[in-house]
């Protein structure tokens, strides 16, 4: 079947004069008459009239071909019409394909925004509600990571507190407390009224209790302090000298089969949750095997010219052992101790004990 814009007006007129009112040609007769009536007056109106014929039959794919003809028009009215088209199409698509609906609604938002249409804010909210709906569907199917991923993808469209709050709740349900706390922190920075402060406080206390159970007294006190900053009436055991939190902690070993060595590594961030900036901050990482130290690494993180401001974090810190561990095939009991110092001369305080788990990434094949 030929589509409307492939039929010459003369051919359509002949079919009309013949009185042929059946088959696809009859629709083209109507299209021709509308175009004939409006064409000399306005190419813009002709394309809209032809698009509306297909919209009336919910055939948005064919209608889009006519809408495309006016996309380059530098006219506010045309842009609003395009926005209306994609908005209606998005709502229709939303019933069966929410992901496709999001793409249509984003286009609508784009044209509403450049035409200063007051519906732009409404469309923006509709797009986010559709993202939330997809995320809820995935979470209800126990696909929590997929639910988080769709929320993350929405942030490029609109970075807002509600999205981060939803991510925090999913992370919390997963038992991923560190990520949940990180998202709560963003929520309270963007819009404190989005979430119940008590939920955030309870999560911080939960983290503090976990650290206390691991014997990490320094970090325990810091999380308690963070919670008390949000709720001054909170009765928690705190007596920290430095309001610093260690987060995003990871350990791994980098193996080199050819040299028969492995190189331990720890990575983390430090966050200043105090009221004042930190002008002097150093870390020391002590790597050991079977409780015998073999590598000590020291890094200077802040200075008077480059302080760590309150409620801010360092970039990711990666520390490698300068001395490798020999014999890839052997079993290794590896640990790393992280110390901090905020005084000059240095007074080192043990901040975290870490066990480094290593599994060989490559199978060794012995030739026959």
Q: For residue 226, what are the contacts with CB-CB under 8 A and spacing of at least 6? A: 204, 243, 245, 273
CATH number of 244-356: 2.60.40.10
**Is pLDDT larger for residue 88 or for residue 234?**
88
Q: What is the pLDDT of residue 240?
A: 45
Model confidence band, residue 273 (pLDDT cutoffs 50, 70, 90)? confident
**Is pLDDT larger for residue 238 or for residue 227?**
227
User: Looking at residues 317-345, what average pLDDT do you find?
Assistant: 91
User: Looking at residues 221-229, what average pLDDT do you find?
Assistant: 82
Structure tokens at 17: 């004069």
pLDDT greater than 60 at residue 6 = no
pLDDT greater than 50 at residue 14 = no
Closest CA to 33 of 42, 46, 22: 46
Predicted structure pTM score: 0.60
Q: List the chain domain ranges.
A: 244-356
What residues pair up with 278 in beta bridges, in sequence order? 308
Beta strands in 230-303 (DSSP E): 244-256, 261-272, 281-289, 292-302
Closest CA to 281 of 231, 351, 332, 331: 351
pLDDT tens digits, one per residue of 182-196: 999 999 889 988 888
Model confidence band, residue 357 (pLDDT cutoffs 50, 70, 90)? confident
Instruction: Pinpoint the alpha helices (H) of 115-238.
Output: 120-140, 144-154, 161-174, 177-190, 197-213, 217-230
């Amino acid at each position: 079947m030929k589509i409307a814009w492939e039929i010459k007006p003369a051919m359509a007129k002949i079919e009309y004069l013949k009185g042929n009112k059946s088959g696809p040609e009859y629709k083209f007769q109507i299209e021709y008459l509308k175009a004939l009536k409006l064409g000399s007056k306005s190419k813009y109106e002709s394309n809209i009239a032809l698009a509306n014929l297909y919209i009336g039959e919910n055939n948005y794919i064919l209608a889009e071909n006519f809408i495309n003809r006016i996309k380059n028009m530098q006219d506010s009215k045309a842009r609003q019409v395009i926005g209306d088209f994609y908005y209606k199409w998005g709502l229709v698509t939303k019933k069966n394909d929410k992901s496709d609906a999001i793409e249509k609604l984003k286009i609508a938002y784009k044209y509403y925004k450049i035409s200063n249409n007051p519906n732009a804010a409404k469309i923006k909210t509709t797009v986010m509600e559709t993202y939330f709906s997809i995320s809820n569907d995935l979470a209800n199917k126990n696909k929590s990571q997929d639910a988080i991923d769709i929320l993350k993808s929405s942030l490029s469209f609109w970075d807002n507190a509600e999205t981060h709050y939803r991510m925090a709740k999913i992370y919390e349900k997963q038992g991923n407390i560190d990520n949940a706390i990180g998202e709560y922190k963003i929520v309270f920075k963007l819009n404190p009224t989005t979430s119940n402060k008590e939920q955030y406080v309870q999560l911080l206390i939960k983290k503090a209790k976990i650290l206390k159970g691991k014997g990490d007294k320094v970090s325990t006190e810091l999380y308690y302090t963070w919670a008390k900053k949000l709720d001054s009436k909170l009765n928690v055991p705190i007596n920290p000298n430095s309001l610093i939190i260690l987060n995003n902690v990871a350990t791994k070993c980098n193996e080199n089969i050819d040299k028969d060595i492995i190189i331990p590594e720890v990575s983390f961030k430090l966050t200043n949750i105090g009221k004042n900036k930190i002008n002097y901050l150093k870390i020391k990482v002590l790597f050991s095997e079977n409780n015998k130290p073999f590598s000590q690494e020291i890094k200077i993180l802040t200075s008077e010219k480059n302080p760590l401001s309150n409620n801010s974090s360092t970039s990711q810190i990666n520390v490698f052992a300068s001395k490798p561990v020999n014999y890839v095939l052997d079993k290794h009991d590896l640990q790393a101790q992280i110390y901090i110092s905020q005084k000059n001369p240095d007074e080192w305080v043990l901040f975290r004990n870490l066990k480094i788990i290593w599994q060989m990434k490559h199978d060794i094949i012995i030739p026959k």
